[in-house]
Chain A
């Protein structure tokens, strides 16, 4: 197997790379207090929200971009980015029903395979759809309301449920947490808000689909999920963007508040535009995701990351309550010139807290794929346990895989286990497959899929299909 053959076998076409021609209301590039004020005014936000943003902005100005990640890119000019863009049709009036949504927009989602009509939607999935800086629509709201479940865009939540938002926003990811979180807190434009009342098992999967369309526009979404005592919700997130030569910025914050005995399962299939073969264009994805688990609560993160030029992302769990459980299942695939530095943090504070980390990194082309994980056992974490398994798969001989595990234990009674492997899709494996009649694409796809099996089985049914489709595109082959 020559390198050329391998390159061909894993070469991808980015199917979501089209642009929607739509009139947009876009802020001129640049960021200062006036921009934050203008953004807040556009959204019709209350004074406390504006004040909260301004404080974040002032904090951000004093912070420096983190440089510790194993990624390399030219400095981002934050003054060259536009911090707000909305399709004009949504600007004037948010559509009350899908009949009022601009047909161009509907066509965009049809093309992406995201049916927005409730009738055509995947059975049992309610969806919030975010286009550039604004939410287009949220489906099944009424049905969810019958159970007391609140599911809407963040902008609406700030207007309609200000007490809830004010009580929880920034409690898991404080504004000064890190450079990108501070930036997001200042300029977040939309995102999803979920509240599950006490004891309620959310009757359907909730889902948000993020799409960046405008050029030179950043997307800064903010998602807040509050699961009240004894409740349960499964939440899915998908993302795509057009192919553009310039890099685009995406800096999101996701906060999960999981109260006593509640459970949140958060799944992501991230397919932002990864840039071309030479590394031109693509999304810079700097994301802070964190959940806070109270007593007996459970947080499960599952992510399938195939997109973005740069990925900087560590969905984490703070296991504050006794007996709380954190899980992190991840597949990160990088190809061409993509760079990913991703992993998790499991902070064990409570007694008998447990966490599991299963990370599968796949590197192809000239890409670089790093796992970075922290397991911290606090002094109170008597009987806490962590199990980490971290596997890397290399395809070809020009890519790189790195593992940076950090373990800090302040409790001698806590148990931390770590296993790591690195393997390669070997020429001999491909030869065996081809000799048995499989073409290269099928062979690579089958081997990669086998490697990821432990993570894929954690995805909800509806999303497993999407993840399968995505790997198919990314690896140009079928997934069995």
Chain B
């Protein structure tokens, strides 16, 4: 589904990703871990097409298409979703209006008719219930005055309604208490399917107690320096990242 080959990317003239290679097949859950500044978030933004994130070498194919050749919104239409680490507020634009516009645009790009307002509102209410957000949040401005945990659950709400093929979650677990973490994990687990893949960017092993990954990768210095199964995450928890950075041979990729 997603094939990243030797990806180099820079932000503000600083090279962050330096030859990242990763393959994600349909239905798989990949956890990306690594120390601060290793390029985890940059990977998410480079895949989503954030303006200012310049890919200098390498390739990314998604569902057989050249992802790097597409605009941000085209990638979204194709099924790339990024749950933001720091979701921004859009005052005055109600969550409901925003969600409807996003779903309408996505459906339109796939040649589907727009949902009528009544059916959409029903879907949105069900989804907000599933992420444990009161329906009143649908009427409020997008993320306006939401707490950190509410913003993260609102990201999950958007993900559920947009039904993407590839869900990239950028530190969705950070700043969540254990109850909110379980809500997010429950939502992700409910969405797991043979057609949908996940890339979970996280600092902590904790999230992986609730969402069992198929693969765990360690990112360091803009490259994947080690890959393994979920036991790798436990090992990291115990030993920290130091031993991996030291043991990785230059140029070695997973």
Contacts and interface: CB of A to CB of B under 8 A. Distances in A.
B82 A450 contact: no
Interface residues of A, number: 26
Mostly, the A contact residues are helix
Interface in A424-480: 426-429, 431-439, 442, 446-447, 449-453, 480
B90 interface: yes
A438 B73 contact: yes
A127 B146 CA distance: 47
Interface residues of B, number: 32
Given A1-B51, A436-B76, A437-B77, A450 B102 contact: no
A450 B92 contact: yes
Given A438-B73, A439-B73, A446-B93, A426 B88 contact: yes
A452 B92 CA distance: 8
A2 interface: yes
B120 interface: no
A177 B84 CA distance: 56
Given A423-B91, A442-B105, A453-B92, A436 B97 contact: no
A159 interface: no
A198 B243 CA distance: 89
Contact of B88 (A5, A429, A434, A438): A429
Contact of A2 (B50, B51, B87): B51
Contacts of A426: 88
A450 B90 CA distance: 8
Interface in B88-121: 88, 90-94, 97-98, 100-102, 105-106, 109
A398 B73 CA distance: 26
Given A5-B51, A435-B72, A437-B73, A428 B88 contact: yes
B90 A447 contact: yes
A435 B51 contact: no
A439 B82 contact: no
A446 B84 CA distance: 20
Nearest to B80: A435
Interface of B: 48-52, 71-73, 76-77, 81-82, 84, 87-88, 90-94, 97-98, 100-102, 105-106, 109, 141-142, 158, 162
16 contacts: A427-B51, A432-B88, A432-B142, A433-B98, A434-B49, A434-B73, A435-B81, A435-B82, A436-B102, A437-B77, A437-B109, A438-B105, A446-B98, A449-B92, A450-B90, A451-B91
Given A437-B105, A450-B90, 5 more contacts: A429-B90, A431-B50, A431-B51, A434-B49, A442-B101
